[in-house]
Amino acid sequence: MSVLKRKVTPRDDAMHPDPSPGWWEWWYFDADFDNGYVIAGTFHFGSPRPPANRDARFIEIGIYDRKGNSKLIRKRYPKEQCSASEETCDVVIGPNTYKGEIPRCRVYLSEGDQGCDLTYESMVEGCMIMEELQLPYLGWLVAQPRAKVTGTLTVDGKTMDVTGEGYQENMWASTPLSGGMADRFYWNKLYIGDYTFCWTYAKGRRHVTNPPVVTLLAAKKDEIVAISDKADLVDSNFTAEGLPEELGIHYPQDFIVKWNDPGVIEGEIKYNTKGALGFFDLLSRFKPFQRQFARRYVGKPAYFRLDLTYEANLKLRGEKVTGKGETWCEFHKMV
């Protein structure tokens, strides 16, 4: 698949309001720091998960280390304490701010004893990936596929200087995410030397026989060189290790992504799960009778950040790309 190369503008990273009752938008950021900490979070306008609530305003932030310690923050704010520009990235939720224009952005967060003050400087150009793939039902800007991240991180009241690499995106839609089209969903970013890979894979529902929905953005140095939608994913050895038994929720210990887009990207990436960095039972905020109804008729949706090792053996635009090491991914159990 060719790369259309439309230059990203400040308006792309601004708010995209829609009159639909199910409208939502988020600004997402993450970073892997040299000291072993990981941060990932979202600034939300509206709710991406059922039940729909376009007036919701909240943040969800996770701070992790690879020793198994985690801090999870989910805080809602009154609508009058929140704002977002329709011209550029300028988002305010309570005392928390997300501001800037490519190639530079700043995220400031202060919630109790946890927080961050981080500056993102682009290392790879941004991309309006849904326009490239011509999928009209969702807006998705990969604002910074790979960025140098510097600043401070506060954990349990202790503030430390940090440096690392991270990712930023803006996503919006007119209806909440649901499990109607997929059983499970994966997202991963992978940095291998000068190469950057960001991919998603939504595994189709078995009884509906929906095809998988795949996206890949691949870059060499600072330039995006490939966008593809041709891959398959095989996952296996599901486990509930580390989770409350009564939830009945599992995550994969192994999965392989196989790319088959001749002349664009070919080969595979093997992943092995070391454990869950973070976990959300997506029905936990429902009332008891609502949870019972949803588990019976919807399923057991859950969200994980999985700590992984990987081994990549790829060919990108005819060039061999290999690597192995540590990474993490998002895993949504949709139903």
**Is residue 10 assigned to a domain?**
no
pLDDT tens track for 188-198: 999 999 999 99
Task: Return the exposure string of 48-79: e unless at least 16 CB atoms fall within 10 Å of the residue's CB, then b.
Answer: bbbebebebbbbbbbbbeeeeeebebeeebee
Same domain, 91 and 26: yes
Confidence class for position 241, pLDDT limits 50, 70, 90: confident
Number of domains in the chain: 2
Residue 96 lies in a domain: yes
86 and 205 together in one domain: no
Task: Write the CA distances from 46 to 33, 77, 227, 284, 286, integer angstroms.
Answer: 30, 12, 29, 18, 17
Amino acid identity of 111?
Answer: E
Distances in Å between the Cα of 98 and the Cα atoms of 15, 37, 94, 203 are: 12, 20, 11, 32
Q: For residue 138, what pLDDT is reported?
A: 81
Poorest-confidence range of 11-20, 30-39, 111-120, 206-215?
Answer: 206-215
Instruction: Give the tens place of pLDDT for each residue, 286-305.
Output: 545 444 544 544 556 778 89
pLDDT for the residue numbered 175: 83
pLDDT band at 68; cut points 50, 70, 90:
confident
Residue 33 has pLDDT above 80, yes or no: yes
Residue 69 belongs to domain spanning: 22-177
Mean pLDDT of 200-219: 75
pLDDT confidence tier of residue 335, bands split at 50, 70 and 90 = low
**Percent of the chain scored above 90 by pLDDT?**
66
- CA angle (135 as vertex; 131, 141 as ends), nearest 5: 45
CA distance 114 to 112: 6
Reported as a pLDDT band with limits 50, 70 and 90, residue 214 is confident
Cα–Cα distance, 34 to 32 (Å, whole number):
7
Answer yes or no: is pLDDT of 26 > 50.
yes
Domain assignment present for residue 133? The answer is yes
Q: Does residue 55 share a domain with residue 77?
A: yes
Is the per-residue pLDDT at 62 higher than 80? yes
Q: Comparing 135 with 124, which gets the higher pLDDT? A: 124
Do 278 and 64 meet the contact criterion of CB atoms below 8 Å apart?
A: yes
Q: Which residues of 182-301 form beta strands (DSSP E)?
A: 182-192, 195-204, 213-220, 223-228, 231-239, 251-261, 265-281
pLDDT of residue 324 exceeding 70: yes
Q: Are residues 172 and 186 in the same domain?
A: no
Q: Is residue 233 part of a domain?
A: yes
The domain that holds 56 is classified in CATH as 2.40.370.10
Do 158 and 185 reside in the same domain of the chain? no
141, 224 Cβ separation under 8 angstroms: no
Q: Decide if pLDDT at 156 tops 60.
A: yes
Final residue of a structural domain among 177, 210, 236: 177
Verify that 196 and 222 share a domain, yes or no.
yes
Residues 6+ apart with CB under 8 A from 237: 252, 253, 254
Are 301 and 230 contained in the same domain? yes
Q: What is the pLDDT of residue 289?
A: 41
Query: In terms of domains, do 227 and 123 share one?
Result: no
Query: Which residue(s) pair with 39 in the sheet?
Result: 31, 63
Residue 105: its pLDDT value, please?
A: 97
Give yes or no: residues 171 and 214 share one domain. no
